[in-house]
Amino acid sequence: MKIGAVEVGDFPVMLAPMEDISDPPFRRICKKLGADVVFTEFIASEGLIRDAQKSRKKLEFSEEERPLGIQIFGNKVEAMVMAARLAEEMNPDFIDLNFGCPVRKIVNKGGGAALLQDIPLLLEITEAVVKSVKKPVTVKTRLGWDEKSKLIVQLAEQLQDIGISALTIHGRTRAQLYAGKADWTLIAEVKNNPRMYIPIIGNGDVIDGPSAAEKRAQTGVDGIMIGRAATGNPWIFREVKHFLKTGEQMQGPDLSERIDVCRSHLLTSVEWKGEMVGLLETRRHYASYFKGIPDFKQYRLKLVTAPTIEEILSIFEEIRTKCVNI
């Protein structure tokens, strides 16, 4: 499969863009563990053109993360065009437009899934960005705003006609947020529409190898994107790919590997963000990395209160020697 001229694998398993999660340290881990394509956290177009430090920082990535898409969001044509050009200067593999984020603070500002209530503007933004950059432009969106406005089949055709190179569809409406089950029937309808020729990537409720295989068989999609299920579980990429290849479920990571990956995540975060921020922001991952470890609560408390790298590394070794492996 190709996105534009970029080869991304026969059936790529991708890491979804997630705020405060899919930063460079986590993306590198996911790539090492099998993710075929990764995306930056979503970046506000207005922040980029104002040269906001936080937005600019999100543009950074390393060569080992490729293929990589920089994702931007916003609701003003000129700002999105300018942001796309700034993103292109970083030389990603493609530019991704976020028309699916359901978070209230984004939607209330007219960004993300809010554009599903103004399709003419959504299409105007997309067409303007496609014409303004040389990199392939991709889109991530949802089925529609709510149950009464599931317009994805028609919208997919319109986006393709404008010139996007791939489309990712989350199988929920904005009104659903992340509740209920993702509906892949409309994703299948988009994929099997004889007018469609660009790659269609499915997203929503892929939690392991069997669910990925089921979605592929159900829809015929060209690839899948994994979001929340990868948080604290970057091994999901190698496990999904193993199942898709062999039909067998791969054994999960043992305690020692969990510690090694979490340790690497911490050290890479500190290297990229600085010691104080790196320590603080890695804390949100500990519970997920060690989910299911018996009697882990006491160690989690130590990890989230330890003030130095040295102390955290020491706690990791204590966990390695004292915790019962799962």
Interstrand relation of 6-7 and 2-3 (parallel, antiparallel or unpaired): antiparallel
- Residue 146 phi, psi dihedral angles, 5° rounding: -150, -175
DSSP calls for 44-55: EHHHHHTT-HHH
Q: Which residues contact 54 (CB under 8 A, 6 or more apart)?
A: 47
Assigned token pair, 191 = 């994929």
Instruction: Give the amino acid at 280.
Output: L
Return d(Cα 102, Cα 73) in angstroms, integer.
12
Q: Where are the beta strands (DSSP E) in the chain?
A: 2-3, 6-7, 13-15, 38-39, 43-44, 68-73, 94-99, 137-142, 166-170, 200-203, 223-226
Assigned token pair, 98 = 């976020």
Assigned token pair, 25 = 């340290």
- 200 touches 221 (CB < 8 A): yes
CA angle 68, 74, 78 (to 5 degrees): 100
User: One of 30, 101, 262, 323 is an active-site residue; which one?
Assistant: 101
Residue 201: CA atoms inside 13 Å, Cβ hemisphere, count?
29
The C-alpha R_g of the chain, in whole angstroms, comes to 20
- Residue 17 phi, psi dihedral angles, 5° rounding: -70, 125
Return d(Cα 138, Cα 160) in angstroms, integer.
10
Return d(Cα 282, Cα 294) in angstroms, integer.
21
Question: DSSP secondary-structure letter at 42?
Answer: P
Catalytic-residue membership of 101: yes
- Catalytically active residues, by annotation: 101
